[in-house]
Amino acid sequence: MAKEFWRWKEYNWKSENINWNNGAIITGGVDVGSVSSQAVVLVGGELFAYSSMRTGSDSPMSAVNSMNWALEGTGMTLENIKYVVGTGYGRVNVPFANKTITEIACHARGANLMYGNSVRTILDMGGQDCKAIRCDEKGKVTNFLMNDKCAAGTGRGMEVFADLLSVPIEDVGELSFYVEEEPPPVSSTCVVFAKTEATGLLREGWHKNKVIAAYCSAMAHRVVSLLERIGVEDDFVITGGIAKNVGVVRRIAKEIGIKTLETEYDSQIAGALGAALFARSLAEKGK
């Protein structure tokens, strides 16, 4: 079986410093996206555990699996979690969720914690769509825009290119800078057309790094038009899986002329983290 270069590494994490059994309120957030699912558990509002894994064909099972994996080795079970919010495309398929909230609201709330309350613009680059979100100092959404009609500028597009070029997806961003000069972007309107164009460029003798650079550039250009429509206000951050791709992130920052903030948190859990934070507020209010 041929190697699948698009397959990114699944992972989980747990805090070694938090005693979850100390009576603090425990809440969870599960973000079932089109490509990946994340589960986050908070203890007293502090990040306690999380996981990130691929969403399979069974969304409810993805929700269960991601939460189970986040809880693995912690001694905590689902019964210990007082309130769970489901988010993402599969938010209605989280069997143990008390409430569903859109990923747009959750990413803004999550980014507010991850990057601080100075964040005003968030670009969530997800598996199959992009969202440009404006928010206030509480992380409350004040405006948003989503990409329309195609997957250009999304994680799935990048996965297609990783496979085409036989480059592990985690390496794509760095490799895109190993070029003598920045090539013009490939088609920015359609992943399939972009792939066709890239195949032609490889046949012309382009090095794969140059093709990657052309695609990262196209992806950046694509989402910048979305950002321009909504207007970018400092501070600006990127969440979602593509936030880990420096090839895209730096090119976006260069195009809009604003640096993205960095965080010690995993950018991919922003949606689930926001969901868990909302769960905490709702649990405290008894809703």
Partner 1 sequence: MITQFRDWEQNRHTYAKAWKEKTGGKVMGYFCTYVPEEILYAANILPVRILGSHEPHDVTEAHIFGMFCPFCRDCLAQGLKGKYNYLDGVMISQSCLHIRQAYTSWIKHVPIDFSYYLPMPNNIQSTHAVKYLAGELAQFKVAVEKWIGKELTDEDIKHGIEIMNENRGLMQQLYSYKKNENPLISGEETMEVAISEQMVDKREHTPVLKELIDKIAGGAGSKNNGTRLMVLGSEDDDIAFIRMVESVGATVVTDDHCVGTRYFWNNVENNDDYLEAIARRYCERPACPSKDWIERSRIPHILSLAKDFDVKGAIVIQQKFCDPHELDIPAIIKALNAIDVKTLFLEFDVTVPLGQFKIRVEAFLEMLQEDDLF
Interface residue list for partner 1 (CB under 8 A): 89, 101-105, 109, 129, 138-144, 146, 148, 278, 281-282, 285, 287
Nearer to partner 1, 129 or 197 (CB): 129
User: Shortest gap between Cβ of 68 and partner 1 (angstroms)?
Assistant: 26
User: Shortest gap between Cβ of 62 and partner 1 (angstroms)?
Assistant: 18
User: Shortest gap between Cβ of 191 and partner 1 (angstroms)?
Assistant: 17
**In Å, how far are 104, 137, 138 from 142, measured between CA atoms?**
11, 10, 11
- What's the chain's Rg over C-alpha atoms? 19
Angle at 111 between CA 236 and CA 279, to 5 degrees: 160
Nearer to partner 1, 9 or 287 (CB): 287
Nearer to partner 1, 28 or 183 (CB): 28
User: Shortest gap between Cβ of 101 and partner 1 (angstroms)?
Assistant: 7
Q: Tell me the sheet residues that pair with 32.
A: 37
User: Shortest gap between Cβ of 45 and partner 1 (angstroms)?
Assistant: 13
Q: Tell me the sheet residues that pair with 86.
A: 30, 100
Nearer to partner 1, 249 or 283 (CB): 283
Amino acid at position 227, single letter: L
Nearest partner of 237 among 153, 102, 135, judged by Cα: 135
Nearer to partner 1, 139 or 247 (CB): 139
Nearer to partner 1, 247 or 271 (CB): 271
User: Shortest gap between Cβ of 269 and partner 1 (angstroms)?
Assistant: 18
Give me the count of residues in the chain.
287
Q: How far apart are CA 125 and CA 147, in angstroms?
A: 10
Q: Are 126 and 241 spatial neighbours (Cβ–Cβ below 8 Å)?
A: yes
Six token digits for residue 19: 């005693």
User: Shortest gap between Cβ of 73 and partner 1 (angstroms)?
Assistant: 31
**In Å, how far are 73, 195, 218, 224, 284 from 253, measured between CA atoms?**
39, 24, 14, 9, 38
Nearer to partner 1, 68 or 128 (CB): 128
**Residue listed under structure tokens 């500028």:** 153
β pairing state of 46-54 and 236-239: unpaired
Is the bond preceding residue 234 a cis peptide, omega within 30 degrees? no
